[in-house]
Amino acid sequence: MNLFTIAWKSVRQRRLASGLTALSIALGVMLMVLVLVISGAVEQAFGQRSIGYQLLVGPKGSDLQLVLSAVYRIQPPIENLPYMYYEQLKKDRRVQVAVPLAFGDVTEVGGFPIVGTTAEYFEHPYAPERKFRMRGKQIVQLFDAIVGAEVARFNNWDVGSQFSIKHGGADSEDVHDEKFTVVAVLEATGTANDRTVFLNLEGFYAIEGHEKPIDEAEKRLRDFYASEPDVLDNAIAQLEEYRRHQAESASAPEDHAHEHEKTPVAMKEVTAILVRTRSDFDAINLQSDLKKGFQAMAVNPIAPINRLMTNVLGNVQKALVVLTGMIILVSGISIFVSIYNSMSDRKKEIGIMRALGAQRTSVFAIVLAESAVLCFGGGVIGWLLGHGIAVVASPTVSMKTGLLLNPWAVNPWEFVLFPVMLILAVLVGFLPGMTAYKTNVADALQS
């Protein structure tokens, strides 16, 4: 019978007190693990520190929200830009590449964000010197889709799989009728592209319900192009034409009523535009020009995230780790109090063991082992609880925040956790251990 067995028996004998003290440690460790899992997810989500484009153009508003929605895909978009604006931007002499993005929907299964774009998106590097690699073919047909590696893995999709999408966010119940077909699966990129489903932009427009009412579109265009009458006239002319066609369709015989009416350019919108300029100077110049206007803004796609991570999230993470560390410390103190308080009750027990021949160092070690059993046992339970809760909460967290939790990913700090638990055990067990060490056997046997 070794010292750990003896310690374990003693822990079991005081099972309520032992259970509660181990639970306090477990809860502390569980919180720490959850913080680390979430930190890992945040790190992974915002791990992309470079992008293959100099600018991200979107409607006026928060630069952070634009980046979070367009690059990291974890926030709803701000507003949309007219597709005509994208065409104008593409013609700007400073612009080398402009890739339109339209988003706002999610997959019915898994709640992964949907991005409507063009084949160009996959032809250009997503980060400096990092090109997309995919298994399958490019988007050609209206309802073709390319899915990120994580989407394919999570939903068990492959080329040929068909799926539906939901209008709006993950909470929406409004499932579109259109069925999309996976034509390619991207290799993992370590970016938000891994958990994104890409649709043909034209297919995105063809989805029923994605088209704004004509009056609303007209109002938006009139506001947007108030200072560009030529462009506005062209747009309004397109809308008038479309309005007339719509009216004719409505009054046409039944068999002609459902013929597909191609959406005019003026009715189309994009949510953001990725822009690569001919030079860095052009990027600064373009950004400055857009800043002066009131139509759109151009932001550095990464700077707002770096700012967020450095100034806010990084510090919040550190604060949470320190806080949970303090919770564990407080739990350690509760173990100390529990063991220390039990020492007076156990004086006779220690006296008996000493009378049976146990050395002072043995009873000291038994008390330390008890402390280790509680700290380490509590730590293991807490670790399992933390990861277990992460497993259970992962789908909900992913749906609500867009963060992809990897519940069983072990943060390197978790390897430090267990040696720390043992050190804590030694610290909290030391004084009670010394009390056992100094026990006067004759007195203890009389007690």
Partner 1 sequence: MSLLLQDVTKSYREPGGRVLPVLSIEKYELVQGEQAVLVGSSGGGKTTLLNIISGILLPDSGKVVIDGRNIVEMPEAIRDRYRAIRIGIVFQTFNLLPAFTALENVLLGMSFSGRKVDRPFAENLLQRVGLAHRLNHSPSKMSVGEQQRVAVARALANKPVLLLADEPTANVDSDNQSLILNLIRDTCRENNVTLLMVTHSPEVAGAFSRVDRLRDFNRVVAGRKQEVSK
Q: By CB under 8 A, name the binding residues for partner 1.
A: 1-2, 6, 9-10, 12-13, 348-349, 352-362, 441-442, 445-446
Give Cα 146 to chain centroid, integer Å: 21
Nearer to partner 1, 8 or 413 (CB): 8
Do 212 and 269 contact (CB within 8 A), yes or no? Answer: yes
Nearest to 366 by CA among 29, 31, 109, 13: 13
Contacts by 408-416 with C-beta closer than 8 Å and gap 24+? 409/37, 409/40, 411/36, 411/37, 411/39, 411/40, 413/36, 413/321, 414/33, 414/36, 414/383
- In whole angstroms, how close is the CB of 372 to partner 1 at the nearest point? 17
User: Containing H/E element for 24?
Assistant: helix 15-45
Take residue 168 and report the two structure tokens written for it: 């709006």
Nearer to partner 1, 13 or 227 (CB): 13
Nearer to partner 1, 127 or 352 (CB): 352
- In whole angstroms, how close is the CB of 1 to partner 1 at the nearest point? 4
Do 292 and 124 contact (CB within 8 A), yes or no? Answer: no
Nearer to partner 1, 176 or 360 (CB): 360
Please give the sequence-ordered ranges of beta strands (E in DSSP) within 303-350, or none if there are none. none
- In whole angstroms, how close is the CB of 360 to partner 1 at the nearest point? 7
Nearer to partner 1, 160 or 357 (CB): 357
Helix (H, G, I), strand (E, B) or coil at 78: coil
Nearer to partner 1, 295 or 435 (CB): 435
Nearer to partner 1, 282 or 349 (CB): 349
- In whole angstroms, how close is the CB of 426 to partner 1 at the nearest point? 22
- In whole angstroms, how close is the CB of 379 to partner 1 at the nearest point? 23
Do 116 and 104 contact (CB within 8 A), yes or no? Answer: no
Do 23 and 395 contact (CB within 8 A), yes or no? Answer: no
- In whole angstroms, how close is the CB of 351 to partner 1 at the nearest point? 8
Cα(158)–Cα(152) distance, integer angstroms: 6
User: Containing H/E element for 298?
Assistant: strand 296-299
Nearer to partner 1, 289 or 345 (CB): 345
Nearer to partner 1, 187 or 345 (CB): 345
- In whole angstroms, how close is the CB of 366 to partner 1 at the nearest point? 11
- In whole angstroms, how close is the CB of 9 to partner 1 at the nearest point? 4
Cα(329)–Cα(25) distance, integer angstroms: 8
Contacting residues for 168 by C-beta, under 8 A, at least 6 apart: 104, 105, 106, 174
Residue 395 vs residues 31, 42, 383, 391: alpha-carbon distances, Å: 19, 15, 20, 8
- In whole angstroms, how close is the CB of 442 to partner 1 at the nearest point? 5
